[in-house]
Amino acid sequence: MSMAVASPTGAGAGDDPLLAALPTRREAHGDFTPRSTLPYDAQAEQLLRCRVGGSFMGLRPIERVEREVAGLWSCLGLRAGHAVLDLGCGPGLYGSRLGARGARVTGIDLAAAAVEHARAEAEAHGWPCRYLRGSYLELDAVERFDAAFLNHGMLGHLEPAEQDVLLRGLRRALRPNGRLALEVDVAPPGLAAKPPSETRQRRALAASPWSDRPHRWLERKLLFPAERQRVVHHVIAHHDGSIREHWVRLELLVPAELEQRLREHGLQPVQWLDPSLTAPPSADAPTRWVVARAQG
C-alpha cells in the first residue's frame, strides 16, 4: 500500500502519527545535521535480502542499469582491458556489467555486505573485477585508471570540502586524457525564487531495505531553495513499535559552477548528457551526467 501527499514544508507537520512520535520535530534545514545518518552497513545487508528480478528493491531496475552501462561504455570511450574505477559500487550492478564487457573494474564502497556480494558475483562469473571496502575520499595515489564514474548524485551528498578532496583524488587516479562521468542532481532554473516545499509518501510493507518484518515507512522530501539543498527524511515504524529516523541532505549543483570546479582540479568538461547517457539533457532536467577529461 502506498500513498503520496504533497504539502508545503511545515504544513500539517503534526498530522502524521509517525512524525508526532519523534522526539525532535525536524522542519528547518539546520535540523538535518549531520549531512547523512543512513546506516549504510545495516541497510546494505537488508537490501541484499530484497531481490526484485535481477536487481534489488530500492535500486534501479536492471533494464535501466543495462542502458546506463551501455551509455557509460560509450561516453567513457571504453575498450576491453581498460581500467575503470567504480565509486560507490554497491552490489556491483554497474561494475560487474562493465567487467562482463571486458573492462578491468575496481569498485569501492563503504558497505561491507555490498562489497562481499559484488566480489562473490564477479568471482563466480570470472569477471575481471575487484571490489574493496573503503571510502572514495581516500583514493590510492599510486594506481591509475583509464576512466572513473560516480552515479546516483553522490557528489552532492558530500560537503563542499569533501567534493574538492574527491575531485583532486580523481585527477591523480586518472591517466592523462582519462575520462570521468558524474551523475549529478542540479538546481532547477529559478530555484532561488521558490518557497521551501515538502512532499510525503507513506507505505505499508511486508519487507523493504529498512526491515524484513512488516513496517510502515514515511518518506519526506524537503526542498530548501535558499540553501540549494534537498533532504530525504525516512521515518520507519518497526513491527515492535519502535520508530527510527534517518536522512540524507544533498546539494543541488549548478552546472556552470561545477564545470569551473572541475577545471580547477585539472578535469576538463567534455559534454553533458541526459540520464540515459545518449543525448544532451533538456534545460530543466533535474538529473544529468557530466563527462570530463583529465588534463595532461
218 in the same domain as 125: no
Q: Measured in whole angstroms, how far is the alpha carbon of residue 14 from the centre of its chain?
A: 30
Whether residue 225 sits in one domain with residue 139? no
In a domain, residue 37? The reply is no
Q: Which own/partner pairs from 137-140 qualify as long-range (CB within 8 Å, at least 24 positions apart)?
A: 137/162, 137/165, 137/166, 137/169, 138/169, 139/85, 139/108, 139/169, 139/170, 139/172, 139/173, 140/173
CA distance 247 to 233: 4
When divided into structural domains, the chain yields a total of: 2
Same domain for 86 and 132? yes
Whether 133 and 176 map to the same domain: the answer is yes
**Can you give the pLDDT at residue 17?**
87
Sign (positive or negative) of CA dihedral 127, 67, 231, 155: positive
Which of 1-5, 44-48, 235-239, 289-293 comes out lowest in average pLDDT?
1-5
Amino acid at 7: S
List pLDDT tens digits, range 60-116. Answer: 999 999 999 999 999 999 999 999 999 999 999 999 999 999 999 999 999 999 999
Could you identify the residue written with the cell 547517457? 277
Same domain, 143 and 244: no
Boundaries of domain holding 153 = 44-185+253-294
Domain match, 272 and 154 both = yes
Average pLDDT, the chain: 93
Please write the tens of the pLDDT for every residue from 23-65.
898 999 999 999 999 999 999 999 999 988 888 998 999 999 9
Q: What contacts 37, CB < 8 A, 6 or more positions away?
A: 245, 246, 247, 248
pLDDT band of 9, cuts 50, 70, 90? very low
Res 209: pLDDT: 94
Residue 39 lies in a domain: no
Between residues 266 and 4, the one the model is more confident about: 266
Whether pLDDT at 145 is above 50: yes
**157 pLDDT higher than 60:** yes
d(C-alpha 35, C-alpha 197), whole Å: 19
Kind and range of the H or E element at 69?
Answer: helix 62-75
- Round to whole Å and give the CA distance between 44 and 112: 8
Count of residues in the chain:
296
Regarding whether 238 and 122 lie in a shared domain, the answer is: no
Cell of 41: 552497513
Q: Is the peptide bond before 34 cis (omega within 30 degrees of 0)?
A: yes
Name beta bridge partners: 104: 83
How high is the pLDDT of residue 11?
Answer: 39
What is the average pLDDT across 164-172? 97
252 pLDDT exceeds 90?
Answer: yes
Tell me the whole-structure pTM to 2 decimals: 0.93
